[in-house]
Amino acid sequence: MSFSLHGIRRAPRRVAVMSVHTSPLEQPGTGDAGGMNVYISETAQEMAARGVGVEVFTRATSSDQPPVAELAPGVLVRHIPAGPFEPLGRDELPAQLCAFTSGVLRTEAFHEPGYYDLIHSHYWLSGQVGWLARDRWGVPLVHTAHTLAKVKNAALADGDTPEPRTRVIGEEQVVEEADSLIANTAVEARQLIELYDADPREVHTVAPGVDLKRFTPGSKTAAREALGLPQDAVIMAFAGRIQPLKAPDVLLYAAAELLRQRPELASRLVVLIVGGPSGTGLEQPQALRELAVSLGIERQTWFMPPQPGQSLVNVYRAADVVAVPSYNESFGLVALEAQACGTPVVAAEVGGLPVAVVHGVSGLLVPSHAGPDWASALANVALRPDRHAELSTNAVTHARRFSWQRTTDALLDTYTQATSAFQRALEVAV
């Protein structure tokens, strides 16, 4: 291990990252791929650039996947066979944790003892694996929940399915066993302490970042041309997984209300939905399209699949406003990415979104999910040129406060503290 028993503090040489249910190689915006994938990918690459090796363990979902793939120099993704070579729902994955853990432990067994200095698990399923690997390898476990069942169940969308009791128990176990817990915001840190009895000394708040080289202001005209969108349109965009939790339907209800109030917008309004079905949204993959028809806004509603790279940048630049109407968000990377591109955001006043969006400065926060409230907020941003220009300028300034470099600095500092404390505990035990 890279930490001696004499109190020397230094960064780990190699980190094992657990991401059971989704791979950083997957395209965010559909299935189970989302902000967590971006978080793992970006921080892993930042760590590797600083000489810290990162190996990400994820479940193999296809027999065509190689056992090991290179995400970037210094970052390996290990595909662990566990169950059938196909995507599985999160409710099916707990039954595969034993097989997955076995694959992780076998991988480490091929190396000299102490090959990994630390484990960082993402989401509770990975935490269960990390807990067992921690005890076997004798290294600290750092855990990031990303979402919490007790919080989600307290703010369910209509018709959404509550998180099962098995997940709640699993999260409680991981919180109890982890050496350090990473929260995205102070709100999440408080939730871990108050709802899960986490030790306040083990909870560290580390804000996610944004790729400030990729997500930058640019030509709205060029972005719309690249995406085939009308130049004179008023574009209100949603980007993310299409599921009740993310609430893209709120944007449709708001658009319908806006057209009722301002029928003259019918020829110019574009509601841009970018993403694919996910989670309980897979049960009715056409539900959002059917809702647009029932609301009479099918002509104004444009659907696009998840967009990678520059195409996603173009989505943000093309929009007059980006809506993030989620019922729960631990942070909300979409909000940061959009603001970095100079596009104001209207977001739900939930979870970490009040950190990602400064109300009245870089965008607006809406305390409800009611269509009229959202129609008013969206119009206040998109249809007032002076207001829009002010928010746009402030949005860029606000987003620049966040970067993956800063996130990685804080993570490595947390790793250092966790390993130092772990070693002190070993010394006391000896």
Q: Give the pLDDT confidence of 63-102 residue by residue, as tens digits.
A: 999 999 999 999 999 999 999 999 888 889 999 999 999 9
CB 18 within 8 A of CB 57: yes
* Residue 246 labelled as part of a binding site: yes
Which residue carries 């004798």 as its tokens? Answer: 138
What domains appear along the chain, each with residue ranges and CATH number?
3-209+404-429 (3.40.50.2000), 220-399 (3.40.50.2000)
SS3 185: coil
* Residue 32 labelled as part of a binding site: yes
CB 272 within 8 A of CB 302: yes
Q: Which two tokens mark 66? A: 């190689």
Task: Calculate what percentage of the chain has a pLDDT beyond 70.
Answer: 94
* Residue 283 labelled as part of a binding site: no
* Residue 216 labelled as part of a binding site: no
CA proximity to 371, closest of 325, 413, 314: 325
Whether residue 9 has pLDDT greater than 60: no
pLDDT the model gives residue 285: 61
Q: Mean pLDDT, to the nearest integer, of 40-50? A: 96
Handedness of CA 382, 387, 389, 391 (dihedral sign): negative
* Residue 21 labelled as part of a binding site: yes
* Residue 171 labelled as part of a binding site: no
- Provide the residue type at 154 as one letter: A
* Residue 317 labelled as part of a binding site: yes
pLDDT in tens, 280-334: 545 556 889 999 999 999 999 999 999 988 999 999 999 999 999 999 898 889 9
pLDDT the model gives residue 1: 37
* Residue 78 labelled as part of a binding site: no
- Mean of per-residue pLDDT scores for the chain: 92
pLDDT in tens, 26-42: 877 666 767 899 999 99
pLDDT the model gives residue 280: 52
Burial class (CB in 10 A: 0-12, 13-18, 19+), 178: buried
